[in-house]
Amino acid sequence: MAKISIDIKSGNVKKESDLIIGIDLGTTNSLVAYIKEGNPVAVKGKNGKSTLVPSIVHFDKEKKIIVGDQAKAKLVEDPENTIYSVKRLLGKSYNDVQNVQQYFGYKILDEDPDSLVKIRVKDKYYTPIELSAEILKELKNRIETELNQNISKAVITVPAYFNDAQRQATRDAGKLAGLDVLRIVNEPTAASLAYGVDKLAEEAQTIAVYDLGGGTFDISILRIENGIFEVLSTNGDTYLGGDDFDKAILDFWIKEQHLNLESLEKQPSLLQELRLAAEQAKKVLSTEKNYQENIGGVKYSINKVQFNQLIQALIDKTIDSCKSALKDANLSAKDINHIVMVGGSTRVPLAKESVANFFGKEVFDKLNPDEVVALGAAIQADILAGNQKDMLLLDITPLSLGIETVGGLMDSIIPRNSKVPTKAGRNYTTSIDGQANLKVSVYQGERDLVEHNRKLGEFILKGIPPMPAGLPKIEIQFIINADGILKVKAKELRSNIEQEIEIRSQYGLSEEEMAKMLLESIHNAEGDMKQRALLEARNEANNILLSTDKFIVQNASILSKEEVETTLKFHQKLKIKVAETDKDAINKAMEELNEYTTPLAHRAMDVTIRESLKGKKVGKD
């Protein structure tokens, strides 16, 4: 049933819609789609030109947030305040990304290598979730303007290889953007749905989805049986895509014209013009045999044969990935029933031909490869809305299930709308030296703080052997059987002690109560997220304060009096900030303490290594 709401500020009457939208939240570009008169369509922007929204967020001088094409225009001019490829950072810790920091023009930081990354823009610290939420808000806005309706429900796609943390981060971004994320769908599954692969045959089918975008390549092998998709294997290269084709053309021209990259870098506007021309050449060569352009009085040209030579090795690499994916799925090329092409770079004829040759079959390429994932997401949304009669709906968990972690935060373990039966687990550790007991409190709900969710039960895992904080490995598993009964198990993996409870009252809520809980979670998303960010910053800071204390005691002999005093000064400042409520100030104080102590820690490490070598003989006697 549609409700009517009036926007008091503008006086506009907007229908509250039941429509569920499909969103492709991409690394380079994002799109939103819906079912219009029975067919999926992607929504264009106000200028009516493109369905693609560049996944780029720019902060202008007044810290106003700009998303999409206008943000993309700032990439060269103001790289520090223009955030791109944020999807690569979603759900990642600093440990996960430190090898690739050089790919980002902006500042990524984390003082605690195990916690999630943050991005500094001017004097504020943002999580990848908050930045992704800005992209989602833009898409929500786009479709609300197009349909003149308020939209609050969505299906969002993610790569098949996304782990639990990355999927949860995507859900959180949706919530922050005011969207109830009904389901997270794998991108290759969505692309297959767009081609109606699920309706092509009665018996089980095996599908290869070849996704070559601007900066990433993924191959996924899927199996579909009775409308249910299963990912058999995935492979790919997170730094291979159409951008590399552009670069190959640029390098070719630089060599041909005897240009020098160093001197070109001193003429950024010419270099930028050449880069754009290289991309244009690539696109033209998807349909023509030659490309030619005059830039700054010089003729630049390339033909299709030359281009194919330049990119042959890159395409071969993608075929090697296809071989690995097949091997992991225990299949050979002839076992594949259908091949689906996704991503703008699959327009390159050599890519298409090579894939068709390898699998020995024609590929599906009739749909716009930039749009197919979003179109499939819209179809999945339509299935969830119950509009596609021949699709079966499965039993699902109505609300997320999780446990309480430090500071009263909710950590979702089984997200809402998961198919039942299901099983999920995560590892935790202790926060105090010698901690013997761990309380496991189980909650249901979508809010960030457990106090706003519904408590289902709790138990205590007793008898953890004495160890320093952070060393025990405690696995918490949630298992829901086909009857909807939830079992929660906790096990300390070093000592094998375990404890469990069974919860039968998971569904003791009426539909109205559940709807109310959901609505509250969306309405409070921003406030909840702020509180979560503050609590997380405090937890991280407390860990750092503790390890700094230990560090000073353990290394008293190698630190000068002045070094100890300065460390304590930064330590004290952080302690004061932790007691206040400004998360950016806590982050800044952490960064300062960390910057000062890192060289001291390196020195301490060198001394320790030297000492330990002194006492020992290295190698065989």
Does residue 343 touch ligand AMP according to CB under 6 A? yes
Among 214, 236, 376, 472, binds ligand AMP (CB under 6 A): 214
C-alpha R_g of the chain: 27
Does residue 28 touch ligand AMP according to CB under 6 A? yes
> What b/e string do you get for 234-258 counting C-beta neighbours within 10 Å, with b at 16 or more?
bbbbeebbbbbbbebbbebbeeeee
Binding region for ligand AMP (CB under 6 A) out of 118-126, 239-247, 293-301, 515-523: 239-247
Tell me whether residue 29 or residue 170 sits nearer to ligand AMP (CB atom): 29
Q: Which of 186, 185, 233 is nearest to 208 (CA)?
A: 233
Does residue 131 touch ligand AMP according to CB under 6 A? no
Does residue 446 touch ligand AMP according to CB under 6 A? no
In this structure, what token pair is assigned to residue 51? 């369905």
Tell me whether residue 57 or residue 574 sits nearer to ligand AMP (CB atom): 57
> What is the SS3 assignment for 533?
helix
Tell me whether residue 241 or residue 472 sits nearer to ligand AMP (CB atom): 241
Asked about 211 being catalytic, the answer comes back as yes
Among 205, 206, 286, 388, binds ligand AMP (CB under 6 A): 286
Site for ligand AMP in 473-512 (CB under 6 A): none
> What is the SS3 assignment for 456?
strand
Instruction: Find out whether the peptide bond into 79 is cis, omega within 30 degrees of 0.
Output: no
In this structure, what token pair is assigned to residue 222? 């899927």
In this structure, what token pair is assigned to residue 619? 């190698």
Among 243, 492, 584, 591, binds ligand AMP (CB under 6 A): 243
Q: What whole-number distance in Å separates Cα of residue 190 and Cα of residue 207?
A: 12
Tell me whether residue 126 or residue 217 sits nearer to ligand AMP (CB atom): 217
Among 167, 171, 338, 347, binds ligand AMP (CB under 6 A): 347
Among 29, 127, 189, 397, binds ligand AMP (CB under 6 A): 29
Which H/E stretch holds residue 66? strand 65-67
Tell me whether residue 152 or residue 345 sits nearer to ligand AMP (CB atom): 345
Site for ligand AMP in 363-422 (CB under 6 A): 370
Asked about 24 being catalytic, the answer comes back as yes
Asked about 61 being catalytic, the answer comes back as no
Chain centroid, CA 553 distance in Å: 40
Residue 495 CB, nearest approach to ligand AMP (Å): 48
Site for ligand AMP in 263-282 (CB under 6 A): 279, 282
Q: What whole-number distance in Å separates Cα of residue 19 and Cα of residue 3?
A: 12
Residue 70 CB, nearest approach to ligand AMP (Å): 18
Amino acid at residue number 14: K
* DSSP conformational letter for 506: T
Please check whether residue 197 is in contact with residue 207, taking contact to mean a CB–CB distance below 8 angstroms.
yes
Residue 236 CB, nearest approach to ligand AMP (Å): 13
Q: What are the φ/ψ torsions at residue 144 (nearest 5 degrees)?
A: -65, -40
Which residues of this chain interact with ligand AMP, rule CB under 6 A?
Answer: 28-29, 213-214, 241-243, 279, 282-283, 286, 343-345, 347-348, 370
By annotation, the residues acting in catalysis are: 24, 87, 187, 211
